[in-house]
Structure 1
Amino acid sequence: MQAQRPTRVQVSHHQYVLFDTDAEPLERGIDDILAGNGLVSVNSEATYASVVTGTSYGDVDVAFEVSGTEPPLRTDGWDEVVETSLYFPGLGPMVGGPVTDDLDLVPLLGPDEEYQWWRFRIHARGRDAASAAGDIYADEGDTVLEQHLLQGWPAPREPEVRHKLTDQFGTRSRTLDPESYARAKAAEAAHDAMPAPQPQEIRTRPMQSELRADDQI
């Protein structure tokens, strides 16, 4: 096993992401969110994963364990445990907030440029306490309240498995009252109805040969 020390990941918008170079972020509507597990969502190519945090902005402690075979399943001491498949090279995915250049690389096993399927088991605890606290920045003296463990091993692509879903933060993301759902659907419809932005015309200075003779210098 290649075990790594916990990494302090900067999160924003209640999430951090794992992604391959040039991976397309996933786009989810309210129905996708309600049908999700409340912890991790993956794009269709499985090259980009968003992990949901109770911490809105700031620091979350994330430990990574990479092994050649599936590790034993241990859910004790964790509030949420979900398994999913991702497609990465041996060089590994980058991890960090969705809108930051402060990213870490998570090396996997195998040749750097060789892509293969990986199984990731994501564990989380402390999301409820972190959600109540709001922004958490360790360098400002805040106590980091949320911990995650990501275990990865090579394995064929398989459907998502929800081993444990017990925190209130995740439950709220999977449920919505009818009034809030209607507002969300209306907002989606309004967004979809907006015209696509038109590319701006780029005006360039004419070449010297295109100027009229009496305009030439």
Structure 2
Amino acid sequence: MRYTTWSSDRMFVSYHQYYLQGDGFLTEYQESDTVGRIFAGNSVVAGGPEHLTVRSGTHTGWIRLTTQQCAAEPPLPGPEWETVVDVSICSTSGQLHLCCWGGDVEEDAGNFAMAGEGWYRVRVQARGRDEGDANQGDDPVEEHVLSVWPSPPQPDVVHSASDTFAREHYDPARPAPEPIQP
């Protein structure tokens, strides 16, 4: 499988968040409720056209983050990943960049809309969110993998949700959210 990887042991998160954001997000879309949809949805990620919000356990500090730009769906990870969720996002600009809270772009991570305008699937894998929530130090204790590949829109899929935040907010009896159309 062909893919591009970017990794950092020092990805800065604020207010438990980091993002994928497209060029048209701030000018064309007024979606401001992704955090609410995380709490009422799959517990880790929500998005709409040109944006995606990921919730970390770490409030403000550093996490380890690996990103993968994939040609097709990657294999599911093993049981060491506490929370694993797939969601759909639409890029109307053909640009999706990794961003920190406040808008700083991680330029080295590249453009996640590698096939241009259209729909993508995003898998968020997280472990250590409980430890991250309690971490007051400068060393990251939480790790995420963000994989993105071209794919038609589909409802959210929760493969696993076993950290404390997921157990408190994810309800498997609730219908899976549908992707938000542009």
Shift of 1:25: 5.8
Which structure: larger Rg? 1
Indicate the structure whose relative CO is greater, using CA pairs within 8 Å and at least 6 residues apart.
2
Cα distance in 2 between the residues matched to 1:89 and 1:2: 22
Structure 2, gaps ≥5 residues long: 172-182
Q: What SS does structure 1 have at the residue aligned with 2:111? A: coil
Alignment map for 1:139-158 (pairs within 5 Å): 142-158=138-154
Deviations 1:66-87 (A, max 9, x none): 2211111124210100001112
What amino acid is aligned across from residue 46 of structure 2 in structure 1? S
Kindly provide the amino acid, as one letter, of the partner of residue 154 in structure 2: E
Residues 38 and 170 of structure 1 are in contact (CA less than 8 Å); yes or no, is this contact kept in structure 2?
yes
Q: How far off is 1:10 after superposition?
A: 1.4
Q: Mind listing any 5+ residue stretches in structure 1 that lack a counterpart? A: 137-141, 176-217
* Aligned equivalent of 1:192: none
More displaced, 146-155 or 21-30? 21-30
Question: 1:64 matched to which residue of 2?
Answer: 67
Q: Distance in 2 between matches of 1:70 and 1:33?
A: 23
* Partner Cα distance (2:44, 2:5) in 1: 22
Aligned counterparts of 1:91 and 1:29: Cα–Cα separation in 2: 21
Name the CA distance, whole Å, in 2 between partners of 1:102 and 1:66: 17
- With normalisation by structure 2, the TM-score equals 0.78
d(CA) in 2 for partners of 1:26 and 1:151?
Answer: 23
The aligned residue for residue 177 of structure 2 is: none
Indicate the residue corresponding to 2:96 in structure 1. 93
Say which is worse superposed, 18-27 or 124-133, in terms of deviation.
Answer: 18-27
The equivalent of 2:178 in structure 1 is none
Please give the alpha-carbon distance, in whole angstroms, between the structure 2 residues aligned to 1:103 and 1:30: 21
Structure 2 residue 159 is the aligned partner of structure 1 residue 163: yes
Structure with higher strand content? 2
Q: Residues 125-204 of structure 1: matches in 2 within 5 Å?
A: 125-134=127-136, 136=137, 142-174=138-170
CA distance in 2, matches of 1:144, 1:13: 15
Which position in structure 2 is the counterpart of 1:21?
Answer: 23
Cα–Cα, structure 1 residues 77 and 92, in superposed 2: closer, same or farther, change >3 Å?
Answer: farther
Contact 1:87 1:117 in 2 (8 A): yes
What TM-score results when the alignment is normalised by the length of structure 1?
Answer: 0.66
Aligned pair count reads 165
Contact 2:91/2:113 (8 A) holds in 1: no
Which residue of 2 is the match for residue 117 of structure 1? Answer: 119
Q: Point out the structure with the larger helix share.
A: 1
